[in-house]
A and B are shown apart, each in its own frame.
Chain A
């Protein structure tokens, strides 16, 4: 079972500005995401049925699990950019 990232860690340091360090609890967004997904599901199904003859309907249905998979696999993604005076750090945990 794979889960979406639980925490987003952001650190921004700019010269002459206050350092920003944030541990954003992404797990608090999970229920909202679930609710939005459930609400969107009927709409997605209707749109995919309408677009089925053009061949795009199947793609719309398949996009749902693939986007979820993409979000879940962001766990471990880390971007760290350090300049002489600036520093940006983003990490999905």
Chain B
């Protein structure tokens, strides 16, 4: 318990303030000290090391299991920055044709880290009626 909270509770116990005032003060302290993130509490957030893609065809027993290191994804995306502009334009055009509105030029080191960070919470599970399963997740 924080020092401020103890002080407020002591004041309440001594009768210097009433319950209502104590509640207001405690609420005010609560607003001033926002909820701590796991990093603030000293718990280091485990970053994912691999992106996993699993495809399982239920009928024939065909399976695809791919494990891609996150560092390889990072390196690959960084390498796209070296692509000639004409090639990038062609890639963007092809992606747009497929309905993917994604521009590699928009990726900078900060947004790349954000992207990887967002991937850590990604988990996609697709299961069809025929028993085919697709799973994409990070570990």
A residues with a Cβ closer than 8 A to B are 56, 59, 62-63, 66-67, 69-70, 72-84
Q: Contacts A70-B72, A73-B71 given: A79-B79 contact, CB under 8 Å?
A: no
Q: Looking across the interface, which residue of chain B has its beta carbon closest to that of A62?
A: B82
B78 in contact with A77 (CB, 8 Å): no
Given A73-B75, A74-B69, 20 other A-B contacts at CB below 8 A? A59-B82, A63-B79, A66-B75, A70-B72, A72-B75, A73-B71, A73-B74, A76-B50, A77-B67, A77-B69, A78-B65, A78-B66, A79-B67, A81-B63, A82-B62, A82-B63, A82-B65, A83-B60, A84-B60, A84-B61
Q: How many A-B residue pairs have CB under 8 A?
A: 58
Range class of the B interface residue count? 20 to 34
B residues with a Cβ closer than 8 A to A are 49-50, 60-69, 71-72, 74-76, 78-79, 82, 84
Q: Looking across the interface, which residue of chain B has its beta carbon closest to that of A84?
A: B60
Q: Which residues of B contact A66 (CB under 8 A)?
A: 75, 78-79, 82
Q: Looking across the interface, which residue of chain B has its beta carbon closest to that of A83?
A: B62
B64 in contact with A80 (CB, 8 Å): yes
Q: Looking across the interface, which residue of chain A has its beta carbon closest to that of B74?
A: A73
| Complex-state Cα separation, A74 to B67, whole angstroms | 10
Q: Contacts A56-B84, A62-B82, A70-B79 given: A80-B63 contact, CB under 8 Å?
A: yes
Determine how close the nearest CB of chain A comes to the CB of B107; give it in whole angstroms: 14
B75 CB contact (under 8 Å) in A69, A78, A80, A81: A69
| Complex-state Cα separation, A67 to B72, whole angstroms | 11
Q: Which residues of B contact A74 (CB under 8 A)?
A: 69, 72
